[in-house]
């Protein structure tokens, strides 16, 4: 299981790094420039700071996973299980929010957005499953 888990963790790290980069281009990708410009200054600033901090957080997750992938996969010490648990919990909460918080009106009836919603649900849930497998491995 350790070899499979090592590969899965590395794929998750790569995926998180990709999401981090995409996150910085989200406003132009989603066509939100005019919407963001209409936000009050404080809300706009908070939006940008949060975008940067999510990007930094994902890059930290990816870097730590790459650096300690063998230790996380082996459950070498409690600290690696806690690290995997923290990252897995982050993604588990994000997966739940994808379903429970976002209104389905954003994607229902729009095939491209429905596909994006389902893909993100699978990716986020997959990240959670991989990291939590490192926590609860035998």
Residue range 124-135, pLDDT digits in tens: 999 999 999 999
Instruction: Give the pLDDT confidence score for residue 2 in this predicted structure.
Output: 86
Give, in order, the Cα–Cα distances in Å from 14 to each of 3, 55, 76, 109, 121.
17, 13, 22, 31, 17
Rounded mean pLDDT, 111-122: 92
Domain enclosing residue 96, as ranges? 2-135
Q: Which of 95, 93, 113, 112 is CA-nearest to residue 104?
A: 113
| CA count, 13 A, side-chain hemisphere, 123 | 16
pLDDT at 1 over 70: no
Q: What does the pLDDT look like over 51-84, one tens digit per residue?
A: 999 999 999 999 999 999 999 999 889 999 999 9
pTM value is 0.91
pLDDT at 102 over 90: no
Contact (Cβ atoms closer than 8 angstroms) between residue 89 and residue 125:
no
* Counted domains in the chain: 1
């Amino acid at each position: 299981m350790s070899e499979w888990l090592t590969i899965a963790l590395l794929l998750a790290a790569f995926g998180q790094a990709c999401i981090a980069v995409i996150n910085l281009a989200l406003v132009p990708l989603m066509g939100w420039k005019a919407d963001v410009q209409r936000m009050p200054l404080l809300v706009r600033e908070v939006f940008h700071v949060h975008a940067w901090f999510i990007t930094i957080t994902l890059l930290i997750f990816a870097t730590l996973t790459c650096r300690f992938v063998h230790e996380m996969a082996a459950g070498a010490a409690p600290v690696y299980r806690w690290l995997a648990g923290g990252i897995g919990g982050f993604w588990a909460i994000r997966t739940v929010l994808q379903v429970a918080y976002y209104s389905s009106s954003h994607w229902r009836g729009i095939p491209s957005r429905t596909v994006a919603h389902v893909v993100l649900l699978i990716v986020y849930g997959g990240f959670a499953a991989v990291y939590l497998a490192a926590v609860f491995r035998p």
